[in-house]
Structure 1
């Protein structure tokens, strides 16, 4: 059974992972329309959500490493899966935005 604290952590993974993936998709859509400033901002927003998710994940890893096992549940697996998919999608979205920039003749230098 998942305790209240772990449930909050897991929900943080799911919510922040979902937000990151949504922002990454919005970045692609903005770049497709030529709105590169918006696309860059959406990638930054995705990064911020991923940072929050990583904080949650790090808390669980630290707890486990100090000898306090975290209960494994289907919800935990779902949260971790959500986070990993969001990370992959964000990375791919940044590449797609760069492709749209290159097609439009806009610099793709990373800030």
Structure 2
């Protein structure tokens, strides 16, 4: 569950970062991205623990919940990458309109 929760928190932080940038609050947007990245590191740690368990010969049962958790992680990673680009775009667009 940690994998799902941390990944979900990361995606939420990234979405909030975009909303902050949209309002020209770039410092807040960067703080939200930092929070998102911390959550992804934690989620990745949970994933690594599962992979280590599997590599040690203790098979991990592949359930729908595990597949959902992996999907959450990968989607959140992609979302954070896109959020960073969107924040950069807002930054450039708002700078040009001054």
Same fold (TM over 0.5): yes
Which of the residues 87, 91, 98 maps onto 2:77? 87
Aligned residues between the structures: 96
Shift of 1:29: 0.3
How big is the alpha-carbon RMSD for the aligned residues of Structure 1 and Structure 2? 1.0
Name the structure with the higher helix share. Answer: 2
Q: Superposition pairs for residues 20-99 of structure 1, below 5 Å?
A: 20-99=10-89
What are structure 2's unaligned runs of at least 5 residues? none
After TM superposition, the score normalised by the length of structure 1 is 0.84
Shift of 1:66: 1.3
Shift of 1:105: 2.0
What are structure 1's unaligned runs of at least 5 residues? 1-10, 107-111
* Runs of 4+ with >3 A deviation: none
Task: Say which SS state the counterpart of residue 15 (structure 2) adopts.
Answer: helix
1:29-60 deviation line (CA, Å, top 9, x unaligned): 00000000000000000000000000000000
